[in-house]
Amino acid sequence: MLEYRIAASILSADFARLGEEVRAVVAAGADLIHFDVMDNHYVPNLTIGPLVCAALKPHASVPVDVHLMVKPVDRIVPDFAKAGASIISFHPEASEHVDRTVALIHEVGCKAGLVFNPATPLDWLDHTLGALDLVLIMSVNPGFGGQSFIPGALRKLAAARSRIDALFARTGRKILLEIDGGVKVENIAEIARAGADTFVAGSAIFGAPDYAGTIGRMRAALASVG
Ligand code: DX5
Ligand code: ZN
């Protein structure tokens, strides 16, 4: 049985009270803080960077899961390591040398994730999977919170799950399979059945006042998957 993790995306938190929001969502049961970095270049939106990550780190008693939607990638990686990131994920289209970026993330002491947009093929895993700690499947086009889940992501999750399980059977390497975009209480069980073990949720958690209630309902739905 898979161990499920809920990664709360602070993109939908109240940015005027971010420290408090991080503490509240951790107290409510989030396993990871998902930190969305957008540059108005790789994606059409602009959010938060390493300074905010460092400022929030003391408020986050769970690992910080940094999702880089920036191009280029490498220059900013050590800054996020210093700012307290545990996991750093990036999009292959945003790096000139994907293998080098994965190695750089490891060199600075973080776990490395590769992110797949809805139209990005899983072929990128052919020569990277053995070096990754996390595979992130986007179920929306990156750039904004509050979008609807793209159903095609379920088939892609299943394909990624097969690759991850095959590698585990061969080598014992453990790789997380994360889904990001449009995850709700209502669809989380179906997403888990497709193979995800780590669930990013932003608007679903921060859009309702009772964070613990929402996370609790997500866990109850996951428990029904087994
Ligand atoms: C989108 C971000 C997501 C976003 C998800 O580009 O990567 O992490 O916060 O938000 P929801 O859960 O509202 O779809
Ligand atoms: Zn994200």
The total of structural domains in the chain comes to: 1
Range of the domain at 150: 5-223
Ligand 1 proximity of 181 Cβ (cutoff 6 Å): yes
- In which residue are the tokens 């929001």 written? 21
Q: Which ligand lies nearest the alpha carbon of 206?
A: 1
To test ligand 1's pocket by mutation, which of 140, 188, 199 has the most ligand atoms within 8 angstroms of CB?
140
pTM of the model: 0.98
Minimal CA–CA distance to 41: which of 63, 68, 22?
68
Exposure of 109 by Cβ count < 10 A (0-12 exposed, 13-18 middle, 19+ buried)?
A: exposed
Give CA–CA dist 113/65, Å, rounded: 9
Tens digits of residue pLDDT in 62-99: 999 999 999 999 999 999 999 999 999 999 999 999 99
* Mean predicted confidence (pLDDT) in 38-53: 98
Does an H or E element contain 180, and which?
Answer: strand 176-180
CB of 11 within 6 A of ligand 1: the answer is yes
Average the pLDDT over 37-62 and give the result. Answer: 98
Query: Which ligand has the shortest distance to the CA of 181?
Result: 1
For the chain, what percent of residues have pLDDT higher than 90? 99
Atom of ligand 1 nearest to the CA of 201: 12
What is the pLDDT at residue 184? 98
CATH number at residue 41: 3.20.20.70
- With the most atoms of ligand 1 within 8 angstroms of its CB, the residue from 200, 206, 211, 215 to mutate is 200
- Report the percent of the chain where pLDDT is more than 70: 100
- The pLDDT of residue 54 is 98
Confidence label for 1 from pLDDT (cuts 50, 70 and 90): low
